[in-house]
Amino acid sequence: MRTVWMPIVMLVSHVFLQDLPLPKPTGSYEVGAWSLQWTDIERDERATEDPYDKRQVLLKLYYPTADTKGTRASYYNDPDAYAPIWDQSDIDLIKRVKTNAIANAKPYPQRSGFPLILLSHGWQGSHASLTIISEELASHGYVIAALDHPYMGHIALSSDVVTEATEKQFHSYDEVMQFYAADLDFVIAQLIKWTEQPDSAFVHHIDFTRVIAVGHSSGFLAARGLALRNRSVSCMVNIDAPGVENSELATYQTKIINIRTERLKPIDASFLDQHRNIKQINIPNASHGSVTDWDYLTAKSEAQREHALMLVRQIAQAILDY
C-alpha cells in the first residue's frame, strides 16, 4: 500500500513568513522534547546499494514536563539540508516556526510511567510535520515517540542526505509492513535501554506495558506490523490509511481506531457490531493531510488557521478517548 503524502506547497503572503508560533497545547502538562538518532546494526538499509549501510532511525521524543523555561525545541533539526528538494521560501518558513516544547527538559516527576505513543508519518512525510498533534498528546500525559522512517519519507540523515521515498527495495506488501514495523520495535528496545541507564532522567517515566501505535496514511503499515509482533501494543490507530480490508482488521484482537478524514473507506455498522474492538471516527470537512501542520502553517486567514487547528485537535481527541 502506498499513498502519496500531501506535497508542501506554501503559497503564503509575506506576513506569514514572520515568526509563526505553533498553537499552545490544551493539556495540563508542559511539554519537553528530546531528539534521538540510533543505528540498528542488525539491519541493512535496503534502499541503498552500500553493503555496509545500516538502518538509521530518527525520532523526537515529546513528553510531560514541569519545566516552563528553556530553549524551545527546533521544528526541523536541519532545515537547510532540504535545499535540494524544497524552495527557499519553504525553508524560510520552516525556520520561522516556533514550537512549544522545551528542548531537553526534565521529565515530569512521578512514580509511575506515562503511556507511550509511537507515531509514524505518511509517504514523503516526516515527524516534524506532526508536531502540533505530538505536542497536544504529550500535554495530556503521554510520551510520544515521533519517528522518521528514512526512505518512506523525506528524511535528513546525519550524512546530510535527504532520503527520497521509495519502495523499490521491497517485493511484497508484507515485506514493507514488517520492515517499517521493525523500526518501531527497535525504538522500543532502545528506549528501554536508554531509560534503564542509572543516570537517565527518564527512569520510570515511560510505561512500556501501555503502547499505542499510530500511523498516518502509509505510516499505518508500521503500526499494524508492530501490533502483530509486539504484545505490549494495546491499541493501534489508523489515520486515514486506505486499502485496509475488513478481513485484515478482523484478525486483530488489539483495539483499533480508524480515524477517517478523506481516503479511508467507511466500515459497515454490522461489521463494527461484530468486532467491538474496532471503532471508526469520522472527521467532517477534513482532508487526507489535516493531521499534519501544513494547513495551519499555510492558512491565508485566521479563520482557515482556526479550522486547521480544530481538525488536528479533533484527531488528537479521538486518540485520547480510546
Alpha-carbon distance 180 to 263, whole Å? 22
pTM of the model: 0.93
Q: 107-113: which pairs have CB atoms within 8 A and are 24 or more residues apart?
A: 107/32, 107/63, 107/64, 107/65, 107/201, 107/202, 107/205, 108/29, 108/63, 108/64, 108/65, 108/66, 108/205, 109/66, 110/205, 111/204, 112/204, 112/207, 113/143, 113/204, 113/205, 113/206, 113/207, 113/208
**Domains of the chain, CATH where assigned:** 14-247 (3.40.50.1820)
Cβ atoms of 184 and 59 closer than 8 Å: no
- Average confidence (pLDDT) over 60-85: 95
Q: Find the helix or strand (DSSP H, E) in which 114 lies.
A: strand 114-120
* 13 has a pLDDT exceeding 90: no
When pLDDT is averaged across residues 101-108 and rounded to a whole number, the result is 98
Name the one residue in this structure whose C-alpha cell is 499505542: 212
Residues 123 and 231: their CA atoms lie apart, in Å, by 26
Grid coordinates of 144: 510520544
The confidence score (pLDDT) of residue 112 equals 86
Q: Residue 17: pLDDT band by 50, 70, 90 thresholds?
A: low
Return the DSSP state at 105: P
pLDDT tens column, 228-269: 999 999 999 999 999 899 999 999 999 999 999 999 989 999
